Structure 1
Amino acid sequence: MNIKGKNINIFGDTSKPLPVVYLHTVRGEGHAVWEQCQKIGTKQFVLVEIDGVNWNNDMSPWPLGKLFPEDEPCGGKAEEWLGILTQEIIPQVETQLHVTKRFIAGYSLAGLFAMWSVYYTYLFDGVISGSGSFWYPDFLDYVHEHEFKKKPESIYLSLGDKEHISKIELLTTIEDNTRSLYEYFQKSGINTIFELNNGNHFQQGAWRMAKGMKWSLKH
């Protein structure tokens, strides 16, 4: 399925009432995540992959310049993209689904987007953020200064234990910031977990996301 120039891939049984996880990907990793979910015995659900977004623009809540010379700046167009997702993509996709609950999931910048999105829309019941880019400037302040549109039933946070090791000072804040969010959400009475995995940002991404989906669907 193609909606607004984005590839929409649906995995799972669409004939019965099930929870749905919406996952943004950068290189079509949805199938790999789905396979990992089956391997680790995840509860039945439907995975909706949205592939082909402009990663640095659509997944970033506000503009940010380059982190290093070869990098691309972030355009801060998350609000614009969230409007397309909630008003056009989700309604079209769900004409063929029987939704019991909705989760928003993502890795890296998409993990940041997932967490940010529940401050703008009431559509999602839970957040699954793998290695979310919580180094993003001012994001912790944003969380402390804003209220959820609808309080999530669950929030899953994970990170690699080597992700804080970086020559870029901003990126070294990721573990402290993620732990800070975990503690804040827990104190807010939200069912929240933080898992620290082995490795850096680029290791076992599909497996890490599958772990988050398994935990979230159980809770």
Structure 2
Amino acid sequence: MTAQTMLIGNRPCRIYGEAHAEYLLLQMTGKHELQGMESEATTIAQSAHRFLFAAIPVESWNDELSPWEAPAVWGKESFGCNAADTLRFLTEQVIPTLKQQYPLPENVKIILGGYSLAGLFALWASTQTDLFYGVAAASPSVWFPGWMEFEQQYPMQTQRVYLSLGDKEECTKNTVMAVVGNNIRTLHSQLTARGVDCTLKWNSGGHFKDAGLRTAKAFRWAMEESR
């Protein structure tokens, strides 16, 4: 599946899919993910649904996707607090531009997804607005300090949530990140108890295995599955 490149703001966004789509899929992406984006889009396209998929690049992964500041958990790079600016860019520039250019129906179902910290960003964004029909969070960083308490206080406002994790991700000596397994199980249970259409899928391997495939599966479930 071939991408078109569209400059939105100052960001070269990769656009896949078609106009007049039933679903608008949005994913914040780092430079490390862009080389696999075409394969991911091709896998998503195995869905029977018509979609427009936008991969939106971020320059500073740890700053632009973090909802609040947190100390470094590996290496020396700490986490910033610019997720609110990123969400504002999505709602005020990306979504209106795509609706106008392609053109999308007014009631298009918007699914925000991502991998790792971008998955956490998608979950967090849905606590801030009811704009998103679904969230496709593949191996999301639900170990992020304060996240579980925050979501209890400000519950997600989306109808459908896909969660996944690699079965080796919680087997780490890093004590901050080791809680990821318990946190994602708890989050799934809490969302299900609230009546959210939520699934939790376990993948083989650690955090860096099959990231594009895992994310594609998340988007496909959010489009295809229903109660």
- Which residue of the partner structure matches residue 6 of structure 1? 11
- Which residue of the partner structure matches residue 135 of structure 1? 143
CA apart distance, 1:130: 0.3
Q: 1:26 aligns with which of 25, 30, 50?
A: 30
- Which residue of the partner structure matches residue 103 of structure 1? 111
C-alpha contact (below 8 Å) 1:61/1:78 kept by paired residues: yes
Alignment map for 1:79-118 (pairs within 5 Å):
79-96=84-101, 97-99=103-105, 100-118=108-126
Q: Secondary structure at the match of 1:152?
A: coil
CA apart distance, 1:42: 5.3
CA distance in 2, matches of 1:95, 1:71: 42
- Which residue of the partner structure matches residue 153 of structure 1? 159
Deviation string, structure 1 residues 28-70 (Cα, Å, up to 9, x no partner): 14322102223x54533111110134210010010011113x3
Q: Secondary structure at the match of 2:162?
A: strand
CA distance in 1, matches of 2:143, 2:93: 30
- How big is the alpha-carbon RMSD for the aligned residues of Structure 1 and Structure 2? 1.4
Deviation string, structure 1 residues 100-144 (Cα, Å, up to 9, x no partner): 210100100000000000111222111110000000011000011
CA distance in 1, matches of 2:216, 2:177: 24
CA apart distance, 1:11: 0.5
C-alpha contact (below 8 Å) 1:42/1:213 kept by paired residues: no
Distance change in 2, residues 1:42/1:163 (3 Å): farther
CA apart distance, 1:190: 0.5
Q: Does 1:185 align with 2:198?
A: no
Structure 1 residues 70-79 or 173-182, which shifts more? Answer: 70-79
CA distance in 2, matches of 1:172, 1:147: 23
Counterpart amino acid of residue 24 in structure 1? M
Matched length: 214
Structure 1 residues 50-59 or 170-179, which shifts more? Answer: 50-59
Deviation string, structure 1 residues 153-184 (Cα, Å, up to 9, x no partner): 21000000000111211110001100110000
CA distance in 2, matches of 1:42, 1:23: 20
CA distance in 2, matches of 1:93, 1:41: 21
TM-score, with normalisation over the residues of structure 1? 0.92
Distance change in 2, residues 1:53/1:93 (3 Å): farther
Structure 1 residues 22-31 or 196-205, which shifts more? Answer: 22-31
C-alpha contact (below 8 Å) 2:71/2:79 kept by paired residues: yes
CA distance in 2, matches of 1:170, 1:82: 26
Counterpart amino acid of residue 114 in structure 1? A
Q: In percent, how many aligned pairs have the same letter?
A: 29
Unaligned runs of 5+ in 1: none
- Which residue of the partner structure matches residue 3 of structure 2? none
Structure 1 residues 196-205 or 89-98, which shifts more? Answer: 89-98
C-alpha contact (below 8 Å) 1:6/1:53 kept by paired residues: no
Runs of 4+ more than 2 Å apart:
40-44
Unaligned runs of 5+ in 2: 1-5
